[in-house]
Amino acid sequence: MKKRMLIALTGVGLLVGVVAGPALAASGAPDRYQVGTTSYTVAVLDTYMHTFVVTANPCDGTIAITGATPVDSGYYTTETVTGTLVNGVISFTATYNGPHNPGYTWSGSFPVGGGALSGEFTGTVTAAPTTFTTFKNHGDYVSSMGGGADAAHSCIGMPMTSRSGPDVAAAAATLAANEARLIANLEAVIARLQANAKASVHAAAAIQKHVDALKSGNSGLDRAAKAVSGAGGSAHATKPTLPDPAQEHPTPGNHPGKP
């Protein structure tokens, strides 16, 4: 029985969390929500080593966890780990995926900054420096995720402000969602124009400028979002103006004075 328990102990591995990412911003730009990732080294019984990586979502306070033991340890396994971060303490449950002892489950807890492992087994947890994403605005994040409703409604890349109330946050989220949909629609129009040999190259280029402005944070929608989040008030976004098909550059055959 003791030998069986020791084998189970050697398979323990875990990956655990971080607090929400701090604001990262260029000089003069608003602070923005970012995703933080921290790696933990867990020494179970101060002997058996394990590595866990935790990604923290600043929008809802949830953490995503992955983990494994060293490949050359003799007790190698990946683990499916679930956990929560409450009052600075990570609580987790881990299940071995194998090849070592698949199906074995254990649980425990430790401080988010590292320290003593408690629960079924004792040990020491060491935290590496946390790294953060660097999305320059919400549109940048949505684009990196390939669009979608979940990305559009996330807070990642949106400005942080101590004066944000429920109404302000809702207004900023609406502006961000509208911006994401507009980018997707404009890019679809560009694709159709580029696929049509008779379409105006100038029309596609004009629309691309609007898309670039949205992604770079220089659009009317982005400035409105900054005003809403930073000032705690409301703002009206200026929608990019699409080119009038009737004003498209004439084809070479119809251009006055051109061959």
Question: Tens digits of per-residue pLDDT, 134-170?
Answer: 999 999 999 999 988 899 999 999 998 754 445 555 6
- Going by pLDDT thresholds of 50, 70 and 90, the confidence category of residue 30 is confident
Token readout for 199 is 């379409």
Residue 46 has a CB neighbour count (10 Å cut-off) of 10
Residue 88 has a CB neighbour count (10 Å cut-off) of 9
Residue 38 pLDDT > 90:
yes
pLDDT tens by residue, 85-128: 999 999 999 999 999 999 998 889 999 999 999 999 999 999 99
Residue 169 has a CB neighbour count (10 Å cut-off) of 15
The half-sphere exposure of 138 on its side-chain side, counting CA atoms within 13 A, is: 33
Minimum mean pLDDT range among 31-40, 65-74, 175-184: 175-184
Residue 239 pLDDT > 50:
no
Rounded-to-integer distance, Cα 171 and Cα 103, Å: 46
pLDDT at residue 191 in the model:
79
CB-based burial, 120-132: b 16+ in 10 Å, e otherwise: ebebebebeebeb
Give yes or no for a cis peptide into 99 (omega within 30° of 0). Answer: yes
Return the bridge partners of 44, or none: 48, 123
* Residue, of 214 and 84, whose pLDDT is higher: 84
Q: List the domain boundaries for the chain.
A: 2-132, 138-252
Contact between residue 114 and residue 40 where contact means Cβ atoms under 8 Å apart = yes
pLDDT at residue 196 in the model:
76
Rounded-to-integer distance, Cα 113 and Cα 129, Å: 10
Rounded-to-integer distance, Cα 177 and Cα 166, Å: 16
Calculate ∠ Cα 120-83-36, nearest 5°.
Answer: 130
Which of 136, 151, 143 shows the shortest CA–CA distance to 222?
136
* Residue, of 46 and 12, whose pLDDT is higher: 46
- Going by pLDDT thresholds of 50, 70 and 90, the confidence category of residue 29 is low
Average pLDDT over residues 216-232: 58
% of residues, the chain, pLDDT over 90: 41
